[in-house]
Structure formats: structure tokens, C-alpha cells
Amino acid sequence: MADTKERKLPAPAISPETQAYWDAAGKGKLLVKKCTACGEAHHYPRPICPFCFSDKTEWTEASGKGTIYSFSVMRRAPVPYAMAYVTLAEGPRMVTNIVDCDFDKLKCDQPVKLVFKPTDGGPPLPMFTPA
């Protein structure tokens, strides 16, 4: 089943702490927060590291490469879509969708690459498609 029909995506609610993430998304970049104190990257992004509680976190640009950790095709939606967790090359796993592909051929651990999809009046959402 190809993802051909249009699915309207709601705009994310943006707060001051995540403004930079969404500004970057608007320029086609995926940012990951990294802690300079403990060296760990995390997602979703926070000013205070959830691992060591340091406030020395900084934005880094993700490579856009990853693998599907898990997925599920929501067959009962008006336009079916593939919910997923993708493991970024940088480490963290993020909630996302797999798009522009044959849903029936998706597999766990499959390599994927970053794409952006427009939302309804907000910044675009980082999503993934088979690499």
C-alpha cells in the first residue's frame, strides 16, 4: 500500500525551549540535543540533560541517517500511515513516521533517511523514508 493519499498533519506546539529545533526543521535540518558534560545525546530536546541533569546542552545537527526500531501501519485511519520509532545514527530513538514507501515491505532495523513533510500552518515534521 503506497502512501499516496494526502494526510493532513497538525502543527506542533512550539515553546521557547524548542524554538531552535523547529526553526531548523523549517530549513530542512534535524537537530539533536547533546550534553557537553556527560557526552550523551537525547531526544526529545531539553535544556537540562535527562541523563546527568547538567544544563550544558547544545544543539547538534543530525546526519539524517537511521534505522527503523519499530513501526506499525495504522490501517484504521482515513489515510493509513506508518507510525515508527527510528534509531538515529547519533543514538537517540525518536517517534516519527515512515513515508513515501510501500508499507507492506517495511521491516525492523531497515535503514532510513530523513525527509520533511509540511504541517497545517506550522514548521515541517522530520520523517523518514527507506534509504
Partner 1 sequence: MSIKGKAYIAGIYEHPTRLAKDLSLAQIHAEVAKGALEDAGLTKDDVDGYFCAGDAPGLGPMSMVEYMGLKVRHVDSTDTGGSSYVLHVGHAAEAIAAGKCKVALITLAGRPRAEGMATGTVPRSRGGTPTPDEPFEFPYGPTVVNMYAMCAMRHMHEFGTTSEQLAWIKVAASHHAQYNPHALLKDVVTVEDVVNSPMISDPLHRLDCCVITDGGGAIVVVAPEIAAKLKRPKIKLLGASEFIKTQMGGKVDLTYSGARFTGAAAFAEAGVKPADIKYASIYDSFTITVLMQLEDLGFCEKGKGGAFVADGNLISGVGKLPFNTDGGGLCSNHPANRGGLTKVLEAVRQLRGEAHPKVQVKNCDLAIAHGTGGSLGLRHGSATVILERE
Q: Which is closer to partner 1, CB of 64 or CB of 97?
A: 97
- Rounded to whole angstroms, the Cα distance separating 67 from 107 reads 10
List, in order, residues 6 or more apart from 13 with CB less than 8 Å away: none
Q: How far is the CB of 92 from partner 1 (least distance, A)?
A: 3
Q: How far is the CB of 44 from partner 1 (least distance, A)?
A: 4
Give the largest Cα separation in the chain, rounded.
46
- Rounded to whole angstroms, the Cα distance separating 33 from 124 reads 19
Q: Which is closer to partner 1, CB of 7 or CB of 113?
A: 7
Q: Which is closer to partner 1, CB of 84 or CB of 114?
A: 84
In 3D space, the residue among 6, 7, 92, 108 whose CA is nearest the CA of residue 41 turns out to be: 92
Q: How far is the CB of 131 from partner 1 (least distance, A)?
A: 18
Q: How far is the CB of 109 from partner 1 (least distance, A)?
A: 7
Q: Using CB under 8 A as the criterion, which residues of the chain lie in contact with partner 1 when the complex forms?
A: 9-15, 18, 22, 40-44, 46, 49-51, 69-77, 81, 83-85, 91-97, 107-109, 119, 122, 125, 127
- Rounded to whole angstroms, the Cα distance separating 106 from 129 reads 10
